[in-house]
Structure 1
Amino acid sequence: MNAHKTPHTSGPNGLAFGIDVGGSGIKGAPVDLATGEFAQERHRIPTPQPSTPQAVAEVIARLVDEYDLPAEVPIGVAFPAPLQHGVVRFIANLDASWTGVDLPALLHRETGRHVVAVNDADAAGIGEVRYGAARDADGVVLVATLGTGIGSAIVVEGHLLPNTELGHLEIDGHDAETKASDAARDREDLDWEQWAERLQRYFGVVEDLFSPDLIVVGGGVSKKHEHFLPRLHLRAPIVPAQLRNAAGIVGAASLAAEDARRTADAV
């Protein structure tokens, strides 16, 4: 494995706690940073309604408290919005009052722990690069999640380029995810061949822009990858994700451990 993707095993027992915040549920588990596997079973708590910052922070604190973890174990949060240095830029899936919130600062006040927060697609991308389908890849890796929309992460030599939002590229006069997402496939009742034509157009444009060395495709539909990935003809290899629903939790935990170690080294 390449040195720049060696898993970070700092912290008590090589653990960090990963959390995936969604519109309907908040899931979390401690992650073994040596393997990228859950150290204990994942727990889920329904997302509070209304999903205000304080209400979500209290649920996250409850989730962490369900595990007996040393105080030094950091928290990584995969969050459904673009974040700039931990600050929510805008929000679609949760309460509108999230805009402008410093998520790590909020959760640090609530839990007393070191906290890192990243966009959920970025967290999944890091998970796949460090522990999954792109673990042995060099250069530029594009991880795309096909679901209600299209999430994206670009990782260059192990370093994340945050908040790429490539599902919102305008292609042929349309927001790309309105035509090429898995939701579009369902909505328009497309067969695999018809959907693959749209994916070919989408990934062809992205490939021309970024020239990735590897493309990883995630989202629930990746379980059926044999129906559509072989129909795509790109310069880069395109492979299914390996971590599936665990990717966000695992990637966020890994980023939290990395940041906690960097912060400790700077003291």
Structure 2
Amino acid sequence: MAKTYPLGIDVGGSGIKGAPVDLKTGEFVADRLRIPTPKKSTPDAVADVIAEIAEHFEDETSGEAIGITFPAVVMHGVVKTAANVDKSWIDTDIEKLLEKKLDRQISFINDADAAGIGELQYGAAKDTKGLVVLTTLGTGIGTAILNNGVLVPNSELGHLEIDGHDAETRAADSARERDDLSWEKWAERLQSYYTMLENLLWPDLIVVGGGVSKKHEKFLPLLDLRTPIVPAKLQNAAGIVGAAWQAANK
């Protein structure tokens, strides 16, 4: 009988991506499949795409748990916010809906939390003891808090108030692009944000993800923090890998 693996799926605003994950290595077992997110991205419409991805990888993942990342607060399988997705998601018990539809164990998790788990198990935070904070710098700022390997879910620390502003409206990568900031000027805003984070939480390590982390050498050396701060390693794979790990260890 062929070996099977848990399936990780990342639900984003433009695409839904999935791949089976070997939890020994944190690597994809097969090429990632991407399907465009439905224009009317209701829970049922997204569930249909998730089912399509699960069917595509049936040979590699049959009977295994499925981990799914989503850009919202998720409490015990129930979606609680819908900032950038269809409002019908709010109070949807998506784990129950998908378990009934797919007859598989489902773990539904915030996207930054999944990325944090991926980086902790296989990436930049591997073997780090104590408190790790992951931030994703993109359209907004996503955060994940992990204490001695245990996730503190739905931290939403991108919304800290700094100088009278929601932090992500000033320090996200989208703010850098919107305001046409140099790396130096953007680093000044990041300095304020990360200083507040370390003063509130006293982490042992900060990991910086998001697409802009590929250019980390342009801004991370400009920051003056007492906490070690490093770029994420898994990049776009982090969510899928973390979600698969979470599902298998639920």
Q: Same fold (TM over 0.5)?
A: yes
Are positions 1:17 and 2:7 aligned together?
yes
> Helix, strand or coil for the counterpart of 2:119?
helix
Of residues 209, 212, 216, the one that matches 1:221 is: 212
Runs of 4+ with deviation above 3 angstroms: none
Q: How many residues align?
A: 248
Q: Is the 8 A contact 1:14 1:34 kept in 2?
A: no
Query: What's the TM-score, normalizing by structure 1?
Result: 0.91
Are positions 1:176 and 2:167 aligned together?
yes
Q: CA deviation at 1:176?
A: 0.2
1:254 and 1:59 map into 2 onto residues whose CA distance is: 21
Q: What residue in structure 2 maps to residue 91 of structure 1?
A: 82
Q: What residue in structure 2 maps to residue 49 of structure 1?
A: 39
Paired residues for 1:81-160 under 5 Å: 81-160=72-151
> Helix, strand or coil for the counterpart of 2:6?
strand
> Helix, strand or coil for the counterpart of 2:249?
helix
Q: Is the 8 A contact 1:14 1:33 kept in 2?
A: no
Q: Is the 8 A contact 2:170 2:189 kept in 1?
A: yes
1:70 and 1:52 map into 2 onto residues whose CA distance is: 25
Q: CA deviation at 1:14?
A: 6.4
Q: Is the 8 A contact 1:154 1:162 kept in 2?
A: yes
1:21 and 1:222 map into 2 onto residues whose CA distance is: 20
Q: Is the 8 A contact 2:4 2:62 kept in 1?
A: no
Q: CA deviation at 1:95?
A: 1.2
**What's the C-alpha RMSD, in Å, of the aligned pairs?**
1.0
Q: Is the 8 A contact 2:6 2:61 kept in 1?
A: no
Are positions 1:211 and 2:202 aligned together?
yes
Are positions 1:58 and 2:48 aligned together?
yes
> Helix, strand or coil for the counterpart of 1:69?
helix
Q: CA deviation at 1:90?
A: 1.3
Are positions 1:246 and 2:234 aligned together?
no
In the alignment, structure 1 segments of 5+ residues that lack a partner are: 1-11, 260-267
Question: How high is the sequence identity, in percent, across the aligned residues?
Answer: 62
Query: What's the TM-score, normalizing by structure 2?
Result: 0.97
Letter in 2 for 1:27: K
In the alignment, structure 2 segments of 5+ residues that lack a partner are: none
1:253 and 1:186 map into 2 onto residues whose CA distance is: 32
Of residues 24, 27, 30, the one that matches 2:17 is: 27
2:60 and 2:165 map into 1 onto residues whose CA distance is: 47
